[in-house]
Structure 1
Amino acid sequence: MTRPDTAPVRPGEELPEGSLREVLRGRVEGDVDRLTVEQFPGGFSNLTYLLRLGDQEYVLRRAPLGPVAAKAHDMPREFRLLERVHPVLPVAPKPILLVEDPEVIGAPFYLMERRRGTVVRTRLPPEYAALQGAPQRLSQALADTLADLHAVDILAAGLRDLGKPEGFNRRQVEGWAGRWRRARTDDMPPVDELHDEDVIAWLTANTPPETAHTLVHNDFKLDNLMLDPHDPSRVVALLDWEMTTVGDPLVDLGLTLTYWTMPEMPGREPNRVGAVASAEGYYTREEFLSRYAERSGRDVSNVAWYEVLGHFKLAVIVGQIYARYRAGQTRDARFAPLGGQAQWLIGEAWRRIGEAGG
């Protein structure tokens, strides 16, 4: 890459390197006595570090600091999932070592292989600026990778037990509604002004049956792809598998479109990747849908419900992070604007319900 993708570890998020060296000694390749630790600065959820053991490099993932929701940020589950997904979907990184003892660094963690590539977070990076059709090529890579994820044979790969796909859409609404109510803070507008309960009621009343049962990544977006620095049509890795389960593939599609079509939110950097559907050269929403439908062979005519669910889920995710920040459970200043972003997303979900004739 033409720019560094790691940074010094943020204050308060340091790893205890002594105990980490001892637990790695003899269990992974590399010189543990030359251990150095840096941090990947992107992301708002799990903490991700780069470990260098001499000439060997690994990525370490652990849950965020402070209390987390039950069953969330389950590193052992994510490790075991990747063990099964990597052989059938090579864009999933290979897991290397699981350490379940929380005494080592304060939480269970795992190591996976490090892959190198370009992550498009805020704007088209310099390495793509001179490449012909780079925005269209990475748009196609995103749509095709989503379709390929949903094409994995969950029975042949032994992945059927990752979730309970029957009734998945109904449980999605119920589960995310409960998380929202627990994360809602007292500095948000009243319910009748924010329309959050109206959004929940609409999703409940209009819940469709599952269109299929496939792998569902549950956070599929452009900046969870790592791309070849010389070829934006080639995906090096698909990252952040913590919420992966088995369910309706259009739930993934709805959330991906939420990110893809999202204009600037309060406290959000202008020209961020979420606004790409309106940026020159990238797929429009309709082009993305068409490419996904062509690649997957799926009917996407009822995608509006899934997009509303996508906006609501993202509101819950940022709302949960903001609630931890407001309670003083994390000091990361990046979380301060997230309360306003959660409110904006609820408003956007309500607006889209109106467009859908709700």
Structure 2
Amino acid sequence: MPIESDLVDRDQLRSFLREHLGPAETFDVQRHDQGFSNETLFVSWDETDLVVRRPPVGETADTAHDVLREYEVVDALQETDVPVPETVAATEDSEIIGAPFYVMKRLDGDVLRYSEPDRFQNSEARAGIGREMIDTLAAIHSVDYGAVGLGEFGTPEGFTERQVERWGEQFEWAFQETTESREVPEIAEIGEWLGANVPEEPAHTLVHGDYKLDNVIFGPDPDPELAGVLDWEMSTLGDPLTDLGWVLFFWLDPVEGELSPLMQTMAPTFLTEEAYHTRGELLDRYERQTGVEVRNLKFYRVLAVYKMAALGEMFYARYLMGNSDSTFYAMMEDGVPQLAEHALEIIDDERPI
């Protein structure tokens, strides 16, 4: 696990922040150890709490650029209805801390990853969490991306078909390492079904790419208010229903019954408590908020599972290669076959929305 000294040159960062924010007597840096993608550092600059985002140590130039794409979209959304952290500065100069990075102000509140805060353990708050999630997703999909300077942020035409192809390629890469341990033949069947059932894309919008409960932060008030959407590194222009399928995959229905050990690991289990929205209710609210009738929902749900399975297979490959000792990565030996079974159940209409 990287330590702060591997991720940042403290003296250089201090100089950078002094240039953009003025001098400070108090300066401290701590690594945030959650997540599997870009590195997050919490910085104290006198009374101002900051976040520094940079790529992991050893990443290639192409993937390192993702952090600056993330800054570009967060900066562009500052004056929109989409809640995002306030940006401070960004730089491509790897000589400062060893990689490109950007700085934003830290939001006050909670990321709902493993448990509910005490203030949300009531019916009204639980219902409010679902409303905030969907209303914010609708706000993302309603942004006039050209007007905020994101007109060249992606190539939206053919986005959905490319998603199927892209995640299929990720499987191919991972299978080179994992098939000696075990095979997942169902993946080919699922990929063929997706390729044959790509729907006509709705109007293109800004797409977050990883929109789910633990990628947003709720403010400190008793009434849930979504204070900021985080982790924009997968964002682009494309099919908004891919975001909807993704958030529904990680949203556990209160009526779903016993959870598999895999979903207990990947999704917030407190969503099964009373008063949380069902997936069907989230879908209905999304349609009302956007005015979009969601068709071909099965495709988007299967695509979300396929994407998660591809990520899981890559995690498992890295575990077998000795690049990670994560127990979650190791779980993917059985987890990916379980996800494949889940996708086939959706295809066969054996699972409700």
Query: What TM-score bracket applies, with the shorter chain setting the length?
Result: 0.7 to 0.9
C-alpha contact (below 8 Å) 2:242/2:304 kept by paired residues: yes
Deviation at 1:301, TM superposition (A): 3.0
Partner of 1:284: 278
Partner of 1:254: 245
Q: Deviations over 1:170-228 (max 9, x none)?
A: 11111111122112332553243xx1111111100000111111011011111112112
Partner of 1:233: 224
Asked if 1:174 is matched to 2:168, the reply is no
Asked if 1:124 is matched to 2:119, the reply is no
C-alpha contact (below 8 Å) 2:7/2:57 kept by paired residues: no
Q: How has the CA–CA distance of structure 1 residues 302 and 153 changed in structure 2, closer, same or farther, with 3 Å as cutoff? A: same
Partner of 2:147: 156
C-alpha contact (below 8 Å) 1:264/1:275 kept by paired residues: no
Output the CA distance in 2 between the equivalents of 1:237 and 1:85: 11
Out of 280, 305, 308, the residue aligned to residue 311 of structure 1 is 305
Out of 15, 25, 38, the residue aligned to residue 22 of structure 1 is 15
Output the CA distance in 1 between the equivalents of 2:223 and 2:249: 22
Output the CA distance in 1 between the equivalents of 2:104 and 2:311: 25
C-alpha contact (below 8 Å) 1:165/1:247 kept by paired residues: yes
| SS of the residue 1:219 aligns to | coil
Output the CA distance in 2 between the equivalents of 1:314 and 1:85: 27
Partner of 1:50: 42
Deviation at 1:36, TM superposition (A): 1.0
Deviation at 1:299, TM superposition (A): 0.9
Deviation at 1:332, TM superposition (A): 5.1
Output the CA distance in 1 between the equivalents of 2:333 and 2:21: 41
Q: How has the CA–CA distance of structure 1 residues 30 and 313 changed in structure 2, closer, same or farther, with 3 Å as cutoff? A: farther
Output the CA distance in 1 between the equivalents of 2:277 and 2:93: 45
Moved more, 220-229 or 183-192: 183-192
Q: Deviations over 1:145-166 (max 9, x none)?
A: 1111111112322322111111
Partner of 1:219: 210
Out of 333, 346, 349, the residue aligned to residue 352 of structure 1 is 346
Out of 181, 190, 205, the residue aligned to residue 183 of structure 2 is 190
Moved more, 10-19 or 316-325: 10-19
* Unaligned stretches of 5+ residues in structure 1: 1-7
Asked if 1:64 is matched to 2:56, the reply is yes
Output the CA distance in 2 between the equivalents of 1:339 and 1:329: 15
Q: How has the CA–CA distance of structure 1 residues 271 and 172 changed in structure 2, closer, same or farther, with 3 Å as cutoff? A: closer
Aligned-residue RMSD, C-alpha = 2.8
Output the CA distance in 2 between the equivalents of 1:78 and 1:345: 29
Partner of 1:39: 31
Deviation at 1:266, TM superposition (A): 4.3
| SS of the residue 2:111 aligns to | coil
C-alpha contact (below 8 Å) 1:66/1:329 kept by paired residues: no
Q: Deviations over 1:261-307 (max 9, x none)?
A: 3874546656941672x432111111111111111111113211001
Partner of 1:201: 192
| SS of the residue 1:25 aligns to | helix
Q: How has the CA–CA distance of structure 1 residues 300 and 267 changed in structure 2, closer, same or farther, with 3 Å as cutoff? A: closer
Q: How has the CA–CA distance of structure 1 residues 319 and 95 changed in structure 2, closer, same or farther, with 3 Å as cutoff? A: farther
C-alpha contact (below 8 Å) 2:31/2:42 kept by paired residues: yes
Deviation at 1:236, TM superposition (A): 0.6
Output the CA distance in 2 between the equivalents of 1:302 and 1:264: 26
* Structure 1 residue identity aligned to 2:342: E
C-alpha contact (below 8 Å) 2:4/2:30 kept by paired residues: no
C-alpha contact (below 8 Å) 1:225/1:237 kept by paired residues: yes
Output the CA distance in 2 between the equivalents of 1:288 and 1:82: 25
* Unaligned stretches of 5+ residues in structure 2: none
Output the CA distance in 2 between the equivalents of 1:22 and 1:47: 20
Output the CA distance in 1 between the equivalents of 2:315 and 2:273: 29
Output the CA distance in 2 between the equivalents of 1:189 and 1:116: 44
Q: Deviations over 1:52-107 (max 9, x none)?
A: 12222210111223446944761122112222122224402222111222233332
Residues matched between the structures, number: 345
Asked if 1:104 is matched to 2:96, the reply is yes
Out of 294, 300, 319, the residue aligned to residue 300 of structure 1 is 294
Give the % identical residues: 34
Matches within 5 A, 1:2-21: 14-21=7-14
Output the CA distance in 2 between the equivalents of 1:188 and 1:293: 43
| SS of the residue 1:161 aligns to | coil
